[in-house]
Homo-oligomer: A and B are copies of this chain.
Amino acid sequence: MTERTLIKDLAAASDGPISVSGWVETVRDQKKVQFVVLRDESGAVQLVHPRNFNEDKTPADDPIADIISGLAQGTFLTATGELKHDERVKLGGVEIKLDALTIAAEAIPETPIAEDSSGDKRMDWRFLDLRVPKNALVFKIQTTFLHALRTYWVEHDFIEIHTPKLMASASESKAELFEVDYFEGKAYLAQSPQFFKQMAQPAGFGKIFEVGPAFRADPSFTSRHATEFTSVDTEFSWIDSHEDVMKLHEELLVAGFQAVKDKHGDEIKALWDVEITVPTVPFPRVPLAEAKRIVAERGYEVPRADDDMDPEGERQIAAWAQDTYGHEFVFLTDYASSIRPFYHMRHEGDSSVTNSYDLIFNGVEISTGAQREHRIDVLIEQAKEKGLDPEELDFYLDFFRYGVPPHGGFGMGLSRVLMLMLHLPNIREATYLFRGPTRLLP
């Protein structure tokens, strides 16, 4: 492999021959000297080329100058030359005086997007949009965040599973199901790994995690929905209630935020003016009924006929948690059974309320967790009550017929966490390639 130095390592390198590879960000083609700002995945550096002149001061033969004059923004190339530290150079205090330029692939000179392009246009050209360091940094942060979560899981003996995304039936609402032609029959795309991550409990796996895609045929066009998203899931046995799930949830988020703060805190502050706060534990917990009273006292009546919160209510309760506890997170607990899936366990002695929670981060729901109902007779009753046909669920109900431990877990939307962590305006900014009702390309 070519001896390539990453641009971030130039400051620590010695003056002398060096080779860097990247793409052209800007060209300043002046009469006496030419400048190219070259960017790679780690940073940007100034390449400099003093033009060649004859003794009579007419332009001399100068192949490098000719190449530079023809460079389009975005062209990928390898530059070799002499590294020179010079504190007057604003960009990193170094520059490279060119000896040679080798072009890997020239760019079409007209770039189809600019900084002020619409979100939709930028998504059309996502691969160019991601060249903006701030946009790419989102995914470096995501990598750090996820690796911290996985390291926590692995160190605590959780088993990683990969549940199938092709299913014979719905796992959540049938309204949001994608249908697939599957050989002679039909299959459906998994809306969540719910049934199969629960399967690991009667299988005796104890504690599991999965990070994988989930699919919702949701026709809505909000800033926080996608038809395909990365779901962060965990499920574990022998819990007493959803309180145990919330405790694990807190520990995972602390691990993730600590890693992000350590590795990217300064950059995040510089680029987004956002201070990454490692949340203190325990996070505030508020039963949903109380949360509705609290937001009502703050002057907001949730305009819903059912027992659920609405997005403005979530913002209000987040503001309350911030005012009261100085906390960016708040668990809303004990949701009404009427608005929870049949597999959520209900309170002992009050079946109108579930052992469940939503986690609100900076005003938006990022996760739903619960203790699951593991008693087969109760589970069947709850399915029937929701209008589901137990026969269609038979493969799932079987998981509970041959012994099963009490268990629970949560699912969390990865892009939502990143969006809210970095105060991004839209989930598309935290998604590598967004998928929506009218978006399948690129």
**Contact residues of A between 1 and 38, Cβ < 8 Å to B:** 1-2, 4, 21-24
Contact check, B205 vs A136: say whether CB atoms are below 8 A apart. yes
How big is chain A's contact interface, by range? 35 or more
Q: What B residues does A160 contact at CB under 8 A?
A: 139, 142-143, 146-147
Nearest Cβ on chain B to A398's Cβ, whole angstroms: 7
Nearest Cβ on chain B to A263's Cβ, whole angstroms: 10
Contact check, B161 vs A154: say whether CB atoms are below 8 A apart. no
**Contact residues of A between 173 and 194, Cβ < 8 Å to B:** 178-183, 185, 187, 189
Q: What B residues does A22 contact at CB under 8 A?
A: 204
Q: What B residues does A404 contact at CB under 8 A?
A: 76, 104-105
Identify A108's interface contact among B139, B157, B179, B402, CB under 8 A.
B402
Q: Which of A164-172, A312-320, A381-389 contacts B (4 or more CB under 8 A)?
A: A164-172
Identify A139's interface contact among B104, B126, B159, B212, CB under 8 A.
B159
- Residues of A near any B CB (own CB < 8 A): 1-2, 4, 21-24, 39-42, 72, 74-76, 78, 104-108, 111-112, 125-128, 130-131, 136, 139-140, 142-144, 146-147, 150-151, 154, 157-168, 178-183, 185, 187, 189, 196, 199-200, 202-207, 212-213, 215, 217, 219, 227-228, 230, 237-240, 244, 247, 374-376, 395-396, 398-406, 414, 432-433, 435, 437-438, 440-442
Q: Apart from A107-B402, A127-B402, what 7 extra A-B contacts exist at CB < 8 Å?
A: A23-B204, A23-B403, A127-B200, A130-B204, A136-B159, A166-B227, A183-B217
